[in-house]
Amino acid sequence: MVSSLLKKIFMGGESRVAPVLLALVSVSVVVWLYYSQNSFFEAFEAKTYDLRFSELRGAIPPSPDIAIVAIDDKSIAELGRFPWTRTQYVRLIERLSAAGAKVLLVDAFFPERETAAVDRAFAAAVKKAGNVELAVVFDFDNELRVVGGTHTLPEIEQVAAGIGHINLVPEDDGVNRRNRLLVEADGKLVPSLGLRGAMAALGEKEFVPGSFEVGLGDRRIPVDGNYSMWINYTGKAGSYPRYSFTDIVNGRVAPEMLRGKVLFMGATALGVYDMRVTPFDKNAPGVELHATVADNIISNRFIRRTGLESLFDMALIVVSGLVTFYLTMRLRLYVAIPAAFLLSCAYVWLSYWVFVQGHWVSMIYPPLAVMVALLIGGSFRYLVLDRSAREMRSMFSSYLSPKLVDRLEKEHEVVRIGGDNKEVTVLFTDIRGFTSFSESRSPQEVVTRLNEYLGAMVQVIDRFDGTVDKFIGDGIMFYWGAPFAQPDHAKLAIACVLEMEKEMARLNAKWATEGVVPFSIRGGAQSGEVVAGNVGSFGKKMEYTLIGDTVNQSARLESAAKYYGVDFLIGEQTYLLTRDAYRYRELDRIRVVGKQIPVTIFELLGPSSDPLEKWAAKFDEALEHYRARRWDEAQRCIAAILEEKPGDRPSKIYWERCEHYKNNPPPEGWDGVTNRSDK
């Protein structure tokens, strides 16, 4: 019931509107999910960000200018329980200053006093070095506004080269994917420790906050509305060279290893609990994240997720969805599903390639658009189009060639209740003497022979893409040019007729070996315009058929073939369409029952490549004499024909006509037309 309702709604005169509307609905659903940032799909999208790093792209070479001063297990073992006295940091600063390090960024803060002497010594060392950046950590409310912070002692912080915040805010799933480059506190923008490191490395003193970017010299760092930058991870923890804190302060690291380096000092020992989750690691030291941020800026390697990427996502959602819907409408589902899968795979590869170029485009939503379009389009096709195609196949498969049935499933709109004008060639055939044959045989034998004959003829008609309309006892009505236009419909029909005669000869040879009486066939063909369409009651009894004068003429020609004693009688329109490829003998000009306009009829002789027999040319001469009322001359030509072809029925007919007109001359104005009184 549902499919019938959908069919009535969608498959009427506006049958092309429904698929377009459904295609737009399918992409609109995904576009809405994209802009609403659905948490379920956003979680998947975030995981694809991690996957692109860890499983697809892998590690990339880190900046050679960056290294880590590690507060590691070895340092704790040698220097004692952490935290250490600030005297150790004084020793570190002095060693690094002597080695010529470019900058030391301290991923730690010193908010409490130790002793006045130690604190003064530490401040003095920081001031003397002139390249020590200290850390600050802020507290935020639910709207990411600063509500407090933890600083190093003022006397130490004031003499530092600068301060950078070390806040790392993981996503909802605990993975750190962004770093907030700038935090507004007390009316000032405080850079992150990573940004501080990049500024020192590049020799830049100022940064320029902008709309969705932070300027640093000639670099434009892409950020979101909160100044957060997507981190382009270089690899697993340990990607940057690590120098143990204790090795440096005890002089076990060669100065040239430290010279000119941007050094981030921070804890790498697990017991210090400064571990973060990254796309590469479950436990990565926080100091390495700050180093990675600096590396991204120094190396100018960013991950951009801006308005441009959003436009790309939108375009690919629409394109992927519409292409999939189109494929689903044009292809069978068992072809459309693999095609959609390959389309999704191609897009995933594209999104990865774009990611390697530094752009994060969605890996989830365009494939989701493919899935939704496949689901909606597939459902529509199954409930409406394929249902219609199944009905169409059921209706036509018994009398249409498989090739045309397949085409009909795709272009079902060519067949509808009502009709269309079509240029066709129609044929009627029957078996000579079948009535007497059937009277002298048992019903079982008659049906068996008839089925064998009809089956062989239908196979020939199928090979030439003809359409069987109906069986009329031993007769067949078939045609070309409907339901699909066939520009060469007449030539296909005549080629089929010749092949049917050959097939009949093969059947008769077979039956001869079985001791069975042979069959012979005759038929009539005419070309012209008809009305073609489904006729009947929708849902009850339907039949696709042809109606019109061309059909009637073809039937009359088949009947007249018996009178003229020929196998196939061809109408004038078919002759005109095929005379360049086939040879004919003009037989007569007749006026069929119910018609005033006469038609010229022809006998099919064979392909134009066959040699022309002398008697055929002689018949044309006889016909010319006959129409000119030269009865004796016509009979002399006919006599010559009968001498060569004694059983030629048309020649005998014209001999008798000449004899009749000698004794009963036709009236003035006689046009040579024969009026047929039977159907």
Which tens digit of pLDDT belongs to each residue from 8-17?
434 444 456 7
Query: Which residues is 526 bridged to in the sheet?
Result: 426
pLDDT at res. 9: 37
Which range has the worst mean pLDDT, 158-162, 456-460, 535-539? 535-539
pLDDT at res. 412: 55
For the chain, give the percent of residues with pLDDT over 90: 56
Average pLDDT of the residues in 616-641: 92
Cα-based distances in Å from 370 to 19, 30, 341, 364, 503: 15, 10, 8, 10, 51
Structure tokens at 234: 């270089």
Average pLDDT of the residues in 297-312: 90
Measured in degrees and rounded to the nearest 5, phi and psi for residue 510 equal: -65, -45
**Could you report the per-residue pLDDT of 72-96, keeping only the tens digit for each?**
999 999 998 888 999 999 999 999 9
CB under 8 Å to 267, separation ≥6 — which residues?
70, 71, 72, 82, 107, 108, 274, 285, 286, 287
pLDDT at res. 478: 94
Q: How far apart are CA 582 and CA 491, in angstroms?
A: 9
**Could you report the per-residue pLDDT of 387-400, keeping only the tens digit for each?**
655 555 555 555 45
pLDDT at res. 10: 41
3-state secondary structure of 444: helix
Which range has the worst mean pLDDT, 85-94, 173-182, 409-418? 409-418
Beta strands, E only, 51-128: 66-71, 103-106
Max mean pLDDT range (325-334, 335-344, 534-543): 335-344
**Could you report the per-residue pLDDT of 9-63, keeping only the tens digit for each?**
344 444 567 777 877 888 888 888 888 888 888 888 889 899 998 888 999 999 9
pLDDT at res. 400: 54
Indicate if the pLDDT at residue 537 is higher than 70: no
Indicate if the pLDDT at residue 407 is higher than 70: no
Indicate if the pLDDT at residue 302 is higher than 50: yes
pLDDT at res. 23: 77
Indicate if the pLDDT at residue 174 is higher than 50: yes
Cα-based distances in Å from 254 to 92, 97, 232, 247, 555: 14, 13, 31, 10, 108
Measured in degrees and rounded to the nearest 5, phi and psi for residue 326 equal: -60, -45
Indicate if the pLDDT at residue 220 is higher than 60: yes
- Would you say how long the chain is, in residues? 679
Average pLDDT of the residues in 401-424: 63
Indicate if the pLDDT at residue 295 is higher than 80: yes
Indicate if the pLDDT at residue 551 is higher than 50: yes
pLDDT at res. 542: 65
Which range has the worst mean pLDDT, 91-95, 366-370, 541-545? 541-545
Q: How far apart are CA 54 and CA 80, in angstroms?
A: 36
Contact 537, 519 (CB under 8 A): no
Q: How far apart are CA 69 and CA 264, in angstroms?
A: 6
Q: Which helix (H) or strand (E) holds 340?
A: helix 333-356
- pLDDT tier at 260, thresholds 50, 70, 90: very high
Indicate if the pLDDT at residue 4 is higher than 60: no
pLDDT at res. 99: 94
pLDDT at res. 594: 66
Confidence (pTM): 0.60
Indicate if the pLDDT at residue 661 is higher than 60: yes
pLDDT at res. 572: 94
Structure tokens at 483: 């339901």
Indicate if the pLDDT at residue 5 is higher than 90: no
Average pLDDT of the residues in 132-141: 92
pLDDT at res. 413: 54
CA 242 to chain centre: 51
Indicate if the pLDDT at residue 538 is higher than 90: no
Q: Write out the residue limits of the CATH 3.30.70.1230 domain(s) in the chain.
A: 397-607
Determine whether domain 397-607 maps to CATH 3.30.70.1230.
yes
Cα-based distances in Å from 102 to 207, 238, 361: 19, 21, 37
**Could you report the per-residue pLDDT of 509-520, keeping only the tens digit for each?**
999 898 888 888
Max mean pLDDT range (193-207, 411-425, 601-615): 193-207
| Whole-number average pLDDT of the chain | 87
Q: Which of 334, 433, 434 is nearest to 378 (CA)?
A: 334
Structure-model confidence comparison of residues 133 and 331, the more confident one = 133
